Amino acid sequence: MRPPKEEAQDADPTVTEVAPGILRMQLPISIPGLGHTNCYAMEDDRGFTVVDPGLPGPASWTALADRLGQLDAEPRHIHTVVCTHSHPDHYGGAHQIREETGARVVTHRLFRNWWDPSDDGSETLDDGLSVDDNDAADAEQAASEAPDRGEQVRPDGRTPWGTVWERRRPPPEAASAMEGIDPRWFGAPVPSLRLDEAEMIKLGGREWVAVHTPGHTPDHLCLYDPEGGVMLSGDHVLPTITPHISGLSADADPLRRFMESLERMHHFDGVRIVLPAHGNPFTDLGGRADAIHRHHIERLETLRGISASLGPATVEALTQRLFRQRSWGTMAESETYAHLEHLRLDGEATRDEVGGFLHYTVG
């Protein structure tokens, strides 16, 4: 039996220094394929900045307080939270930190609840928190400039390709742990500062450059410290697994955007260490980005072969040939759909709707 991937390993409670002045605090999560989120802490004369403070809820909050306690600090000492993208295992703790400490929340300009197909951006994300005029103006501008969300889950609960949207249910022990939790744990923060590509920000005594890396989400943000040679890569480049690419995206071709973002990793020649949101730090940014890129090129080639064998087929049928049975479901279908749409927009595939289901032919 193969050992679990790095990203699936349980959270280690030990705080470690992974680069000068940058501390890795692993927070527990229970998501298929993931066992922890790396929350990075950087101290300055005002207190701490934390990056990706884990899932919402008491378990993650207790772990964060424990890790900070090892540094002779408390959550009240956090003055800035960076969320690399709009998935709850990255921004979940930001809401509570902001309520407890008034910390500013830093994201990419396009930050929004992209992970939730029912969120069209019209609802207030941070109900109950005060938002100053600058925050509100930034949020309004970001929403107006964001790319069109395109095809999403339909009012009847069906996906664009015709199957019924199904959320993976949490394991029973996780569901039990969620009972009775104050709903305010699950708020998404309204950002205090939205960064654009190449904007500079000082955190933990370092000057960081904002690097917009859409694909996994449209709002994914990496941070690069050129002087120290550090890249905070979020979920964009992970050490041993490939991030999910969803067809339910604001981008018409999220796979192309992702592969373009991967190619950009070669522009950062000075990177000496990569700090991912899951798994262990690593050094070869360009090599790992190339490996993930190859994975998707190979997946496209596999889809060509499956389509040649099946002829016109639904996304579900193609998914069940592309993925192992244990992965079947809406997430796998969504990634298959993203690959098929990439081929269609490249002129390599056609689609037709038959009985409410999309049928694709590649080639």
**pLDDT digit string, tens, across residues 62-72:** 999 999 999 99
pLDDT of residue 65: 98
pLDDT of residue 187: 66
- Run of H or E residues at 242: none
In angstroms, rounded to a whole number, what is the distance separating the alpha carbons of residues 235 and 31? Answer: 14
- Run of H or E residues at 265: none
Q: What is the pTM of this model?
A: 0.86
Q: How far is CA 4 from CA 7, 35, 201, 279, 291, in A?
A: 8, 10, 36, 11, 19
pLDDT of residue 270: 95
Domains of the chain as residue ranges with CATH: 6-290 (3.60.15.10), 301-362 (1.10.10.10)
Could you give phi then psi for residue 208, rounded to 5 degrees? -105, 145
Q: DSSP code of 157?
A: S
pLDDT of residue 229: 98
What are the residue ranges in the chain where pLDDT is below 50? 114-150, 168-181
Burial 337-354 (b: 16+ CB within 10 A, else e): bbbbbbbbeeebbebeee
| Residue 32 near residue 4, CB atoms below 8 Å | no
**pLDDT digit string, tens, across residues 250-273:** 899 999 999 999 999 999 999 999
pLDDT of residue 250: 86
Interior CA angle at 336 toward 332 and 340, to 5°? Answer: 170
**pLDDT digit string, tens, across residues 313-359:** 999 999 999 999 999 999 999 999 999 999 999 999 999 999 999 99
Burial 295-322 (b: 16+ CB within 10 A, else e): ebeebbeebeebbeebeebbbbbbbbeb
SS3 content of the chain, % helix, strand, coil (to 5): 35, 25, 45
pLDDT of residue 156: 82
pLDDT of residue 186: 57
Q: Record the tokens describing residue 130, joined without a space.
A: 């005060």
